[in-house]
Amino acid sequence: MGAPTVHQSEHGYTLDMPVEIPAQDIETTENRVLSADLGVKKQATAVVVDGDNGQIAPPEIIDHSSKQKLSRLTTEADHLDDWLAALRHDGKAHTDRFKHLHNEYEYLRQKETRLRNQIQHDVANQLVWLALQYGCETIVFESLGQIELPDVDGTLAHSISTWARGDLLDLAEYKAELVGVIVESVNP
């Protein structure tokens, strides 16, 4: 284990503190799987399935409490973007008003990104916790990368890509690996 290090990034300074994670003794049941279905209206629905007995617990719906706040931030930033486009179109991109709105737009997008990352971490934590609670060997996600999206509006497409194709799968895999749970993606 090494000494703490400080890194500078575009967001400021980060202090990295190396820690040793003790080995976890978890008990799993053979052929028990947590099936996770990522959604648009809800973040995920998780069902525990046993190879011998089928579904062994009611579905758990993971619906993060900050979802509406994220939607509001996205809508607000989109409106500012439209306003900025109108100012550009009118030749007013050099004004103080434009600069102020652009700074507000950047601030909202950063806030939106931080909140989205927090939600994804929380959902990944909940999925791993459910897998541990029910003794699952594996968490299985549908592989949605090959699915063609129908003609949908930008907000829906953004939502789908954020959850189904975003960092959530990587976060869940990383967190599950720390406690000895396997993560797989299967074709629908």
- The reported pLDDT for the residue numbered 26 is 74
β-pair type (60-62, 44-50):
antiparallel
- The reported pLDDT for the residue numbered 153 is 57
pLDDT interval class at 76 (50, 70, 90): very high
- The reported pLDDT for the residue numbered 48 is 94
pLDDT interval class at 4 (50, 70, 90): confident
- The reported pLDDT for the residue numbered 157 is 57
pLDDT exceeds 70 at position 148: no
Can you say whether residue 49 is alpha, beta or left, with left for phi > 0 and alpha for psi between -120 and 50 degrees?
Answer: beta
pLDDT exceeds 90 at position 146: no
Kindly state the average pLDDT of the residues 109-114.
92
Q: Please give the model's pTM, rounded to 2 decimal places.
A: 0.76
CATH architecture, domain defined by 5-186: 2-Layer Sandwich (3.30)
- The reported pLDDT for the residue numbered 104 is 96
Distances, alpha carbon 156 to alpha carbons 85, 89, 172, in Å = 22, 27, 23
